Structure 1
Amino acid sequence: MGPLSLETEPYIDAHSHIWTPDLVRYPLAPGFTQSEMLPPSFTAEELLSTCRPSGVGRVNLIQMSYYGFDNSYMVDMIAAYPDRFIGTAIIDPEGRDPGAEMADLATKGVRAFRVQPQFLKLPMDRWLDHPGYDAMFSHASKSKQAISFLIDPNALPEVDRVCRTYPETPFIVDHLARIGVDGQFREPDLRALCDLARNPNAYVKIGAFYALSPMGPPYTDLAPMIRRVVDAYGSHRCMWESDCPFQVVDHSYQASIDLIQTQLDFLDDDDRRWLLTGTAESLLFAESA
């Protein structure tokens, strides 16, 4: 594989998963089985062969739940392709020293950490009220590693609380807070996501279109929601994501990036540059650029 060329592969995918069928070297976490790995394989090399034809040369890898808190495969692929990958890891908020683990992973190309309500199963109105999360957010306020939330809209009030409590910590909401993923668009949900923009270190990933669009490609039914989010945050706090390989199970990779490149007439060239490259580069790739 040739070296990264920012002229021919300028774009950044802010969110994609990888996994390998090599279960001997990279065993699954307790509770997961090989039959749950769908597709059975989506390796780093398969991801690159998927994204590079669309001009995407760099990717923020998201630790896959199949591996639990063992980030080994993702970290090994960052080491194998350091000019192309950085990572979002998953660590145990109830571990002995989350901050120390974050610092160690920073040396291995990890620039963010995924958090979701299912980890600790606390009541939704205080799902982030835990000493382990406090340790993570406090460390991130100094290291500038981001905290990336996989949430539904009902989790947004707690995200807003921690954004205000830790104003120096970069926080990212994945997948447009999955608004509409259940087939129901609710105006209060979108309003809550847009209101979160009052926190200057809050960011949003715009993607997973395959899951959010009832109409499917070219996903223009999502245009009004995306416009409101970009208006609220500014394009410099929004970043495009594919959510591969799930994007390419029934749809295409190109269809996802096309929505940003050609289908949204309210975006100008500068907006597209920020969504497709600038935001992820400045927030996630700055130390590896």
Structure 2
Amino acid sequence: MTPRIDAHQHYWQIGDRAGYWPPPELNAIHRDFGPADIAPELDAARISGTVLVQSLPTENDTRFLLELAERTPTVCAVVGWVDMKAADAATKIAAFAAQPKARGLRPMLQDLPDDAWIDDPILDGAVAAMIDHDLRFDALVMPRHLDALYEFARRYPDLRIVVDHGAKPHIATKQVEPWLSAMTRLALLPNVHCKLSGLWTEAGDAADDDALRSRVRPYVRAVTELFGARRLMWGSDWPVLRLAPGSDGYGAWLAACEDDCTRFLGADAVSDVFGGNAYTFYRVGDTLRHA
């Protein structure tokens, strides 16, 4: 039986985040979050494991995640951070890859002042090290980054890339373009995958889950049809999901995605999108077997 995997969630200690997001006014998430907080959600949803993704561009945060993963059986993979343009990037990447649950890296592209930061041959050495160590690349991008991401993905066809949160389309303003055209072109590259995650928090104010589902469904349909059953993976983006107005939370987002996945891809796709693809993409077989 294919294990159910949450392909995108976070843990953090708010005391380590001075000067970083989230600000205190986001009181739903401005506190510590750890394995005990999400455990009831995972149990209720029958989730076997999660992919723990960095949310600070610091090596200290990545060390914290790796150490936490080692003592948390439900964490089956860690996506960390390394300064990929540093002179010693390849050495740092090799050290990260040596950790048992290290599976990928994520520069925080959405926060960088240069939208084309990723479209730079200076990354050659870091990407070569990632490929050598069989690491994945999580792309935290917005629509304005997609042209540069396309050039990056085309330059490195051997690097397996996943677009986080469907590239955060402007759902609240119903601005489909240029997001849709850019994602359509990106999906033509076989090394690019996509996460069905983070969309409810892009949807703006909504009265309840039904309103959220209706508003987000066209974008869910787009990514399901573009990436299909084998290059799409579901993630909760917990605890950031707690910011979605009108949402009942983890289980409601999961149920909405399962319904829409069945609607647009068919029932046979559910096991892949909600576990199988993340299992393969992040190479979690060994970590789940030894949990």
| 1:200 matched to 2:198 | no
Match of 1:19 among 8, 12, 24: 12
2:200–2:216 contact (8 Å) kept in structure 1: no
Kindly provide the CA deviation profile for residues 190-247 of structure 1, in whole angstroms up to 9, marking residues without a partner as x: 1211220111010101111321334452413322222222222221100111111021
- TM-superposed CA distance for 1:131, in Å, is 5.3
- TM-superposed CA distance for 1:83, in Å, is 5.3
* 3-state secondary structure, aligned to 1:220: helix
Unaligned runs of 5+ in 1: 1-5
Query: What residue in structure 2 maps to residue 259 of structure 1?
Result: 256
Counterpart mapping for 1:109-120 below 5 A? 109-117=101-109
Match of 2:141 among 151, 157, 168: 151
- TM-superposed CA distance for 1:94, in Å, is 3.4
Query: What residue in structure 1 maps to residue 113 of structure 2?
Result: 121
C-alpha spacing 1:104/1:262, structure 2 compared with 1 (3 Å): same
* 3-state secondary structure, aligned to 1:115: coil
Distance (whole Å) between structure 1 residues aligned to residue 161 and residue 198 of structure 2: 18
Q: Which stretch of the first structure deviates more once superposed, 195-204 or 126-135?
A: 126-135
- TM-superposed CA distance for 1:175, in Å, is 0.6
C-alpha spacing 1:280/1:270, structure 2 compared with 1 (3 Å): same
Query: What residue in structure 2 maps to residue 279 of structure 1?
Result: 277
1:140–1:170 contact (8 Å) kept in structure 2: no
Query: What residue in structure 2 maps to residue 47 of structure 1?
Result: 38
Over the aligned positions, Cα root-mean-square deviation in angstroms equals: 2.5
Distance (whole Å) between structure 1 residues aligned to residue 199 and residue 146 of structure 2: 20
C-alpha spacing 1:119/1:213, structure 2 compared with 1 (3 Å): closer
Query: What residue in structure 2 maps to residue 106 of structure 1?
Result: 97
Match of 2:266 among 265, 268, 272: 268
C-alpha spacing 1:119/1:153, structure 2 compared with 1 (3 Å): closer
2:5–2:49 contact (8 Å) kept in structure 1: yes
Query: What residue in structure 1 maps to residue 151 of structure 2?
Result: 161
Counterpart mapping for 1:209-220 below 5 A? 209-214=199-204, 215=206, 217-218=209-210, 219-220=213-214
Q: Which amino acid aligns with 1:171?
A: I
Counterpart mapping for 1:165-244 below 5 A? 165-181=155-171, 183-214=173-204, 215=206, 217-218=209-210, 219-244=213-238
Distance (whole Å) between structure 2 residues aligned to residue 277 and residue 262 of structure 1: 15
Distance (whole Å) between structure 1 residues aligned to residue 256 and residue 181 of structure 2: 22
C-alpha spacing 1:45/1:262, structure 2 compared with 1 (3 Å): same
TM-score normalised by length of structure 1: 0.84
Distance (whole Å) between structure 1 residues aligned to residue 22 and residue 58 of structure 2: 14
Query: What residue in structure 2 maps to residue 138 of structure 1?
Result: 128
1:19–1:44 contact (8 Å) kept in structure 2: no
1:18–1:47 contact (8 Å) kept in structure 2: no
Q: Which has the higher contact order (CA 8 A, sep 6+)?
A: 2
| 1:86 matched to 2:72 | no
Give the aligned length: 274
| 1:245 matched to 2:243 | no
1:117–1:151 contact (8 Å) kept in structure 2: yes
Unaligned runs of 5+ in 2: none
Q: Which amino acid aligns with 2:239?
A: P
Distance (whole Å) between structure 2 residues aligned to residue 32 and residue 221 of structure 1: 30
Q: Which amino acid aligns with 2:130?
A: A
- TM-superposed CA distance for 1:182, in Å, is 5.2
1:209–1:256 contact (8 Å) kept in structure 2: no
C-alpha spacing 1:92/1:16, structure 2 compared with 1 (3 Å): same
C-alpha spacing 1:117/1:194, structure 2 compared with 1 (3 Å): same
* 3-state secondary structure, aligned to 1:235: coil
- TM-superposed CA distance for 1:92, in Å, is 1.4
